[in-house]
Structure formats: C-alpha cells, structure tokens
Structure 1
Amino acid sequence: MSSSNSKFSEAETGVFWDLDEFPIPDDLSPASIYDNIKLALKKMGYTGRVSIFAYTSANQSKEEFESANIQLQAVGAYKNPMFALDIYNWGVDHPDELLGDLGDYEIDLKGKLTFV
C-alpha cells in the first residue's frame, strides 16, 4: 500500500453488495464470501474492520447471512434507492474514512484480486 493510503489502512471498510447482480456462486456460502473479501482487502493492506451489507429483492435466509457477519437487506422493489441511501449514510457516519470503491481493482467472490 502506498504511503498516501496508509492512514486508511486501519479504517473501517464498508462493502455494499447487490446480490441480484452478483449472486453467491453455488460452491460458496455467505461465510466464505466474508472471509474472501477480508482476505482480498488484507492483501491490499487494509486491516480495519469490514462491514458487509448485502441487498436483494428476493427471499434469502437472514440467519445464514447474519451468522457470517453480513447484514442482509431484503428490500424488494426498494433495493436500488435503499442501496444508494445506505452508501450515502455510510459517508455521513464515517466522514474521516476513505469512501469509494476499489477504483481499478475488482475482487471476485472467491477472493481473487484483479487489476482491471
């Protein structure tokens, strides 16, 4: 990690995940997704707390996600506005932390980090 990003290395990271667009592969579980995201972030030098919020318009088992430390938001037709509002609120609640995406990086659900 570059020195310009080092002040953010221990900041809390928020991951906002659209389950309808990026579903869990059949061979993975919410717990393995959580672990893979944490591992990919660690490889990038981010060691702070990770909060993952998953959004879907379909019925999903909240218990399976919550036991994996993923907050499931089953918001039906209101998914997209809720998704945007939660990202906005994250920025308000975490004003001193880096807010944004991984830029030119992509983390697939199996934990591989790819430069795109």
Structure 2
Amino acid sequence: MSKQLRSYGESSTCVFWNVEDYPIPEGLDPHSVEEKIKSEVAAMNFCGDLSVQFYGNKTRFSDDDGLLRKYSDAGIKTGILP
C-alpha cells in the first residue's frame, strides 16, 4: 500500500446516508445496512474510526411509523433536517 493510502486508511471516516432520496431497500433494516457499510469500508483497508449517520427530513422521521425508534434502538445516529 502506498504511503498516501496508508495515511488515509488510518484516518477517521464518516458516511452520510440520505434516507429521504435513497431509502433503505425493502426487506433491510437500518442496523444491517450500517453493518454492511462498515464491512465494505473495512474491506477497502480503512481501519480508522468509522461513523455512519442517516439523515432525512421531519416527515421521514416522524415517529408515526416507528422509523426513528428503529434507528435509535440500533444505536444509529440520525440527523433530522427541517
């Protein structure tokens, strides 16, 4: 691995998922998607801290359907936009 890639591999990485425009595919849950993202990032030799954050608007995360609770229960960070 080149010196440049090695330094990036040890850096912190943050993945942002826009669930408003790109909803989680049918049949998957937030936790399994987060685990897949972490697995793929690790497979690319990124070994630093990894943070995954899902975000959407208030309508997407209204607690009427319990979606926000699913994210929270899985320990996933969410960002709610106006």
TM-score interval (norm. to shorter): 0.7 to 0.9
Alignment correspondent of 1:33? 33
Structure 1: gaps (5+ residues): 77-116
TM-score normalised over the length of structure 1: 0.57
For residue 69 of structure 1, the aligned residue among 58, 65, 75 is 75
Where has structure 1 moved over 3 Å in runs of 4 or more? none
Deviations 1:23-56 (A, max 9, x none): 1011111111111001110111112221112111
Secondary structure, aligned partner of 2:42: helix
Relative contact order, higher structure (CA 8 A, sep 6+): 2
- Cα distance change on mapping 1:66 and 1:50 into 2, 3 Å: farther
Q: Contact 1:51–1:70 at 8 Å: present in 2 too?
A: no
Alignment correspondent of 1:14? 14
Identity %: 28
Alignment correspondent of 1:47? 47
Structure 2: gaps (5+ residues): none
> RMSD across aligned C-alpha pairs, in angstroms?
1.8
TM-score normalised over the length of structure 2: 0.76
Q: Contact 1:34–1:69 at 8 Å: present in 2 too?
A: no
Secondary structure, aligned partner of 2:4: coil
- Size of the alignment, in residue pairs? 76
